[in-house]
Amino acid sequence: MAVFTPVTIAELEQFLAPFDLGKAVRLEGIAGGVENTNFFVTLVDEQGQHTEYVLTLFEDVREEEMPFFVELTTWLAKAGIPVPAPYQDRNGIALHVLNRRPALILPRFLGQHLQRGELTAEFCAVIGGYLARFHKAGADFFMTRQAHRGVYWWRRESAIRARQLSAADAELMLQTVAAFDQLLEQEKRGELSLPQGVIHGDLFHDNALFHAGEMTAIIDIYNASNTYWLYDLAIVANDWCSAGGGHWHADMLDALLRAYAAERPFTDDERKVWPLMLQTAAMRFWLSRLEQINPDGSYMKNPDDFRDILRARVERPDQLPV
Ligand SMILES: Nc1ncnc2c1ncn2[C@@H]1O[C@H](COP(=O)(O)OP(=O)(O)OP(=O)(O)O)[C@@H](O)[C@H]1O
Ligand SMILES: N[C@@H](CCO)C(=O)O
């Protein structure tokens, strides 16, 4: 399941007309996505040069939310973070509509994402360093966005989804939501202060491309929002460094956290809340996986993976390295 919205070459040509990038010679749907429709596109310019691009149609993001992503990727790319910043048309406008979806034409980066079995402590250190640099580069970004799958969403969705879960699972989910609400209250009362800024929000290992052993791109930035940086690191840790059943690859986790901290050292308050950040990040993806369903009723990605990760994070709380 990947192409939610089909596009013909004629529709693509019409979309590309204001861009001066060239004529379309190939349009190929990309398998694997669960949130957007993506195509690889090959264009040939007036000099006969073939160049590859990515066309993304946004299935889940409203048009009025798009300027945040256009500006953020442009900002980060200028700061040296390898994210796909969209091409602008001859009037300086990147965002257009294709088949009633907001759509962007983006550079295609070299490389592939690593398979889970290829992940190592070295790669975890690479992504840890990039994540911290991403956070620092976004620190003075001039726009803000509230996550569409953030605290308001999970309060509402967890209450609904809990009804379809076993009593034990429902309790696990609802307790995690409540624990995060308590953290927000503590922060409101001034008892905690956590560094925050723009986060990627979905930096799973399939959203980082590697070529010849080097990271070439961080993609799929459309869950970016403003919240705690540590939450973003927890999302990365839960995906990149988890073995089955919620167990850690301890060497990979250590490498991730040390590489991140080398760029942005942790604060004392961050140390206190790390266990809860890991739990909250696990709950968020458990919940979104319960929601993301194929037309035949099957889950797009297995929700139980994140239920198991959450349970493990609750049973065996973690500490950040000193
Ligand atoms: N700019 C790009 N350069 C090269 N490849 C890309 C680019 N954008 C997307 N891809 C390819 O397309 C695949 C799917 O893209 P993406 O992860 O953005 O889709 P998605 O629907 O948001 O997926 P998911 O939500 O599952 O992460 C990626 O794994 C990658 O192989
Ligand atoms: N990375 C997400 C899917 C896209 O949001 C997951 O694995 O559940």
CATH code: domain of residue 253 = 3.90.1200.10
Q: What is the pLDDT along the chain (322 residues), one digit of tens a residue?
A: 456 889 999 999 999 999 999 999 999 999 877 789 999 999 999 999 999 999 999 998 889 999 999 999 999 999 999 999 999 999 999 999 999 999 999 999 999 999 999 999 999 999 999 999 999 999 999 999 999 999 999 999 999 999 999 999 999 999 999 999 999 999 999 999 999 999 999 999 999 999 999 999 999 999 999 999 999 999 999 999 999 899 999 999 999 999 999 999 999 999 999 999 999 999 999 999 999 999 899 999 999 999 999 999 999 999 999 8
Angle at 93 between CA 87 and CA 97, to 5 degrees: 90
Q: Is 1 in the pocket of ligand 1 (CB under 6 A)?
A: no
Q: Is 35 in the pocket of ligand 2 (CB under 6 A)?
A: yes
Cα 128 to averaged position of ligand 1 atoms, centre (Å): 20
- 118 and 88 housed in the same domain: no
Residue where a domain terminates, one of 108, 126, 160? 108
Atom of ligand 1 nearest to the CA of 301: 26
314 token code pair: 């609750």
Atom of ligand 2 nearest to the CA of 204: 1
Distance (Å, rounded) from C-alpha 158 to C-alpha 143? 29
Host domain of residue 310: 113-315
Q: Is 202 in the pocket of ligand 2 (CB under 6 A)?
A: yes
Distance (Å, rounded) from C-alpha 123 to C-alpha 236? 12
320 token code pair: 């950040």
State the complex-level ipTM.
Answer: 0.93
- 164 and 96 housed in the same domain: no
Residue where a domain terminates, one of 108, 140, 157? 108
Count of structural domains within the chain: 2
Atom of ligand 1 nearest to the CA of 30: 12
- 136 and 82 housed in the same domain: no
- 149 and 235 housed in the same domain: yes
Cα 285 to averaged position of ligand 2 atoms, centre (Å): 7
Nearest-ligand number for the alpha carbon of 285: 2
* pTM of the predicted protein model: 0.95
Mutate to test the pocket of ligand 1, among 1, 30, 61 (most ligand atoms within 8 A of CB): 30
Sheet of strand 36-44: strand arrangement: 23-29, 36-44, 50-58, 101-107, 96-98
Query: Is 84 inside any structural domain?
Result: yes
- 59 and 99 housed in the same domain: yes
- 209 and 70 housed in the same domain: no
Query: Is 3 inside any structural domain?
Result: no
Secondary structure (DSSP) of 194-216: --EEEE-S---GGGEEEETTEEE
- 87 and 209 housed in the same domain: no
- Which CATH number goes with the domain that contains 91? 3.30.200.20
Residue where a domain terminates, one of 108, 131, 152? 108
Pair 202, 277: CB distance under 8 Å: no
Pairing state of beta strands 196-199 and 225-228? antiparallel
Query: Is 320 inside any structural domain?
Result: no
Reduced to 3 states (helix: H, G, I; strand: E, B; else coil), residue 186 is helix
Query: Is 4 inside any structural domain?
Result: no
Which helix (H) or strand (E) element contains residue 43?
strand 36-44
Query: Is 321 inside any structural domain?
Result: no
Q: Is 239 in the pocket of ligand 2 (CB under 6 A)?
A: no
- 73 and 193 housed in the same domain: no
